[in-house]
Amino acid sequence: MKYTDVDNSRPPATAVWVKEEYLFEPDRFKCSNCGEWTLQPSQECPVCGARMTGIRKDPVWIDEIVFIEENGVWRDPQDGR
Ligand SMILES: [Zn+2]
């Protein structure tokens, strides 16, 4: 994980963790401010320093089920992302 300096002279941005829920992978959390991924949500984003105000669910598994029903197979989730 990479770290960047946080400018403390300005109030930190606020953001939320977008919790992406998968069928075949562990849930993971994306910073809505900088887009960095983490598996362990914290009070502040370790990358951009945004103060986290909450968690928003993004049930990716619904799209995955639709994909399976339409295609009959599951793809490598790393493909095309
Ligand atoms: Zn961030």
User: Any idea where the domains of the chain sit in the sequence?
Assistant: 14-70
Whether the CB-CB separation of 34 and 17 falls below 8 Å is answered with no
CB under 5 Å of ion ligand 1: residues: 31, 33-34, 36, 45, 47-48, 50
- Give the distance (Å) from ligand 1 centre to CA of residue 35: 6
Burial 46-62 (b: 16+ CB within 10 A, else e): bbbbbebeeeeebebee
DSSP state at residue 35:
-
Give tens-digit pLDDT for 3-50: 666 665 666 699 999 999 999 989 999 999 999 999 999 999 999 999
Say what the pLDDT of residue 47 is. Answer: 93
Say what the pLDDT of residue 61 is. Answer: 93
Distance from C-alpha of 19 to C-alpha of 58, rounded to nearest angstrom: 6
